[in-house]
Structures are given as structure tokens and as C-alpha cells.
Structure 1
């Protein structure tokens, strides 16, 4: 971990401890501590070139500072440490681009988020520090139930950047400003273009946003009846090597739109579409969506994610005369609590044309997710 990053983390920790130091009940309640551990047992079944079972997992330990409890009504802060384990199940066993488990990553234990927020009124807020872009933009509330990473943030965004944008498993320094009135909101974000250290993207680093170039993102949220429409766009200020080496460096940018809401009292659904500049990004277009129903203690979900290669992606990354244009993932999942601190979630995914590769067989994946939380919810 870089020395400036260690100093910044130490300063944030001392600030939180100092604010809670008086020992009064109000000061003590200003800090909330907790932890989570989520694990997926994944089995590659029919169609996999490398059948077998693997375990992947993610552990988080976090602390929240609540300013109002310490007499600082407009302030809040958050610190999250993560550790990830497990092999590259999606790449090694299936060759799929849309990662089967949202827990899969090649990273070292590190500070995932460390930010402070200033909210002078109910209308305006500003947040600065290490921030997960997907906690602020392109949030798929209904899609959060699913195991595949494509239902957490659209792959049209997650593919971007040298080592991915500021999302799991590595965040970047950022400034996010939000204006909100009721269900209407406008969010603006400036993220450093590189998530992680320059010499090793598995390690965290804190830099002023824009040091390595900037990722700019804007999103508007507009109610449509009882549903909510999200409209967003993103743009890197620096150019990247074009996928086609014969072409000059290209811009990386894109747009997305998502509509989400309740179909009935027990069923919610969403649909999302996104596009990215195909000169710098393999996926030129994405379409995804699904529905979740609540039946007793069970939440049942069915979703699909369809990622289409752009022209440069087909030409350079695959055999253009034989490569498939799209990779599609279908997921059927069910979740229920078995204790106040434990959820279980059996899961099935079917991958059509994994990795767009010609001749790659469609593959069935079975999984079981365990989610632990302390304190319990």
C-alpha cells in the first residue's frame, strides 16, 4: 500500500476515533461496525471444457460514522476493508466474458472504500474519497439478487478502462455530487481513470481524481409513474489504444438507460440497455433485464444478459468469419433466509456462445451462494 494512502487512511481512522472519543452514549452510537462474508460454490456442468467445482468468496469489514449522533448533522463517513479468495472459475472453466459470480476477482486484501460525505441539506450532497462507482451510478436494485456480475453493473461500463473502472474489486479516488428532490435526482462523478496502483492493479492506491486521467459520469433519475428511469453517460478524458492496432488511439465512452419498478405487489422487474464506443471496447451494445417475485420467505428471480461485440472486437478478438456476435447468459435463482444472519441461494446459469468463441459449447453452471452478516439485519 502506498505511503500517502496509508497516511490518508490513518487520518480518517483517527478522525473517526476522535469524534467518538468522549465516551458518551451519543458519541459511542456515532460508530457502527459490521462484517459480511459471501461465498459461491460453483459447478461447471454440461458443455464446459473443464468440468469441476470451485469456491469463491468475499469478506468485508466496515465501520460507518454517523455525524448526527455526534452533533455533526451534515457529515458521514465510511470505511470498508475487503479480502477475496478463489480461482478464475469463469475464465478457466467456461471462457465466459460476463463473469459467472460477482465475487470473482484477482486482488489482494485492501481498503475498498474510504470516503466522507457532506450533506448540508436534503437537496444536495457531496462525497469524496475511494468510492465504488456502482454504489452511486447504474444501480440495479432488483438485479442485485442475481449472482452473475452483469446484473450488478452493465458490462458496457465494467469493461472500460485499463483495469476496469472504480468498481469491485478495486476503487479509485473520486468526487461525487448529487442533487435530489423526492425521486428525481441528478448525479455527477469525477473518478480517477485508473483503479488501483499503477505498478499492480491488485493493490489499492489513493490519488487525486484525474491524476491518471479522469472518468466522468452523469446520471439522471426520473420517475415514470411508479417506476424509475435512469439515464446515464460516461466518458474518459484520455484516449486508449484502439482494439484494431492499425487505428489511432480512441476515446472510451458510452451511454445507458434503465427502467425499474413494481409489476405487482410481489413482483418487481427491470430492463437495461447500454452502448460503448466499439473502437476501444469489445462490447458495443448490451441488453439485460429480468424479474424477481417474493413467495413467502423465498425471492425467486429470472434474468437475461445479452452482450454484443462491436466490429473491432469481432475482427481483432475473434475470427470475424466464424465468431458469434453475442454472448447471452440466462440465470434462474432463489434466495431465502435460514437465520437472521444467514441467507442461502441456489442458482442456475446457462451460457450461450461463451466468450463469443466459434465452436465453444453452450454451458450449464449450478451454484449455491451463502451470505453471512454481522450484525444480522
Structure 2
């Protein structure tokens, strides 16, 4: 089935390419994001880390509606959240260790706000995205931790086979939906592969997300729901060995995303707000609910180049005392505060210093509150 689909798409594009009336164009973009950071932590304060993500995207466009897209990527650096700080939500959305290989690889048909994709993609490219939250460096402000921690979700650095689409219902209403492989493409050692193999126990991920644009686009409201049909550990199990817990089929999550324009002084200067919420099925979830809220001020300072200032708070609740959340069983909740400032030096380069305070509330032991200090560089070629 997978080979037949690839062959069919290839034959289709060859047929289009032979037509003299078709306009064929190739575009290429390379982006490199890197961070230098340090932190305070109970056992490893003062460590310095250099982490980064290099991604190259090539697009073959055949007329204005059809395209083939190939993404290649490399990540480097350690995993300080996992190995040093111990925070649940991962404080840097670049953290991935050393990996290389394929990023997003897909065919797309696009006509205005109508689009259709088939291939291997990142769910967070089109779903559960807050535009104002993209400024921040913490992982949860990009996509809520209920999705990334409760599921084998296909989000950075991994992708999964999928069929997704967006249909414009009206000028102010769009409907997105998709079906994803229930298990993202696992890396082979450090190599990120293309893998569309399906497995009944791993299930499928079904998602739907209506989007409403209100008050002359001053408010963008997304209301999402997804169902994962795979097998999950029963978190109500109180046995000694968590891996011996019985399994339950299916996990459901409901989420909302709001992007609001609070004040606009002129075309380039404005103040915005975002709000994220998520509620997940508790008996099979690590994170039962999440709330994120943040402010973004664009060009608040009168400088020659663009600048952005952001302040955000995210709070994730881990399951109650009656639930076994595995290695995070002692964690009641985790709250992160991030203050960040982004300044463009050139159109192709910006720098972004940031500060994070992470409060980890424990059920039995003393709470811990590490801090993170970092500076991010964003290069576009």
C-alpha cells in the first residue's frame, strides 16, 4: 500500500511535468537555531550546553497548486532537561540530542485556504499552534504537554505518516482534520527514518480542529479534539512495577487555543495575548490538564530593526495521588515562567536572550525551583 501510494504520486507528478503549460519551480531554505544555556539545579548547577537544530527544506512546485516537499535536519547538543534539570515539560524546544535524517516529507495541494497533504509530517505544523506562543523557547508554549507527554505524538524532532487537510467553510471559519500513524517514525540509532508501517496496538491518531477568526481577525480561536486508538498503560494501577500495569485502548484529549490582539498602535507595533488549555483522559494520562497564558509585545521599543518582548506562564497538573504516573509519580504539578526578548540584527539573523523559572511541586519531598538562562540565535539562509 505504501509503495503503491508513492508510485502513484510519482507518476502523477511526471505527467504534470511533461505538460508544457506547467510552471515548475524549485525553492530551498535553510534555518539554523542554536542556544547557549546554563541553569541552576540541585545536583548540576552551572553546566553550559550548546544545542541546536539545522533544517533544510526543498520545495518542488508544479504550477501554483501542487508541490513536493523534502525536509532534512540535524540536531546536536545534550539533553539537559532529561539528564540535569529533571523538569517534566522540557525547558528548550530545541532539545533533542544528536539526530539526523528526514524532517517533513510530503505532497501538498493548495488553493487559497484549501489544502491537502499526504506524507510524513509534524502534527504541530498545522495543529495545536498558537502564533503568539511561537516566540517562546519553552517547549509547552509551542504545543501543550498533554499532547507531547501523553502520546507518542509526531512532533519535533520526529514525524509520522499522515493525511491532513484544511477546508475553508467561510471567510472567518476554517476546519482542519487529519489522520496520523499512531506511532511516530522511530529513529534507527541516531538516524531519523521515513516509516509508514502501521500496527493495530499502536493505533491511529485522529484529530479535528475548527478555527474561528473574529472581530476583524483580532481574535483567532481554535477548538481541537483528538483520539488515539492505541493501547495505553492504566495509570490507576497501584502495583510496584508500572510496566506490568494493564492496558486500556484509546486516549481522548480536548484543547483550546486563543490568540488575541489587545492593542495596536500602528501597522508594526502591537500587544498580543495567547491562552492554551488542554484536558486529557486521566486514567491513561501523565498530564491530566494544562493551562498556558502569555503576552507578546511587537516592536515595543523604537529600534531600527524589529523586536519582540514576551512573558508567559504554563502550568501542568500531573495525575492525582491515586494515579501512578511512572517516573513522575512524586510530581504534583509543574509551573514555568519565561521572560524573553528577540531582536533582529539582520533580516536573516536575530538573537533572543531568555530567562525561565521552573517550579516543580512534589507530593512527598521538598519542592525544587531551578532557573534557566540562555541565548538563542536564529539564522536563515
Same fold by TM-score, threshold 0.5 exceeded?
yes
8 Å CA contact 2:102–2:192 kept in 1: the answer is no
Count residues with an aligned counterpart: 358
Q: Does 1:197 align with 2:186?
A: yes
Length-normalised TM-score, structure 1:
0.85
8 Å CA contact 2:185–2:196 kept in 1: the answer is no
8 Å CA contact 2:22–2:62 kept in 1: the answer is no
Deviation of 1:182 (Å): 2.3
Question: How far apart, CA to CA, are the structure 2 residues paired with 1:313 and 1:343?
Answer: 47
Deviation of 1:267 (Å): 0.5
Distance 1:216 1:22, change over 3 A: closer
Q: Does 1:233 align with 2:225?
A: yes
Summarize deviations over 1:248-306 as a string: whole Å, max 9, x none: 42222201011112111111111111011122221000000101102233200000110
Question: How far apart, CA to CA, are the structure 2 residues paired with 1:313 and 1:79?
Answer: 46
Deviation of 1:205 (Å): 3.0
Structure 1 spans left out of the alignment, 5+ residues: none
8 Å CA contact 1:277–1:284 kept in 2: the answer is yes
Q: Which residue of 1 aligns with 2:133?
A: 143
Q: Which residue of 2 aligns with 1:267?
A: 271
Q: Which residue of 2 aligns with 1:363?
A: 370
Deviation of 1:208 (Å): 5.7
Alignment counterpart, residue 158 of structure 1, candidates 137, 141, 148: 148
SS of 2:247's equivalent?
Answer: coil
8 Å CA contact 2:283–2:323 kept in 1: the answer is no
Q: Which residue of 1 aligns with 2:156?
A: 168
Q: Which residue of 1 aligns with 2:205?
A: 215
8 Å CA contact 2:313–2:338 kept in 1: the answer is yes
Q: Does 1:129 align with 2:119?
A: yes
8 Å CA contact 1:62–1:81 kept in 2: the answer is yes
Length-normalised TM-score, structure 2:
0.84
8 Å CA contact 2:102–2:194 kept in 1: the answer is no
8 Å CA contact 1:318–1:356 kept in 2: the answer is no
Distance 1:317 1:240, change over 3 A: closer
Distance 1:91 1:316, change over 3 A: same
Q: Does 1:50 align with 2:44?
A: yes
Question: How far apart, CA to CA, are the structure 1 residues paired with 2:379 and 2:9?
Answer: 27
Say what the alpha-carbon RMSD is for the aligned residues: 3.1
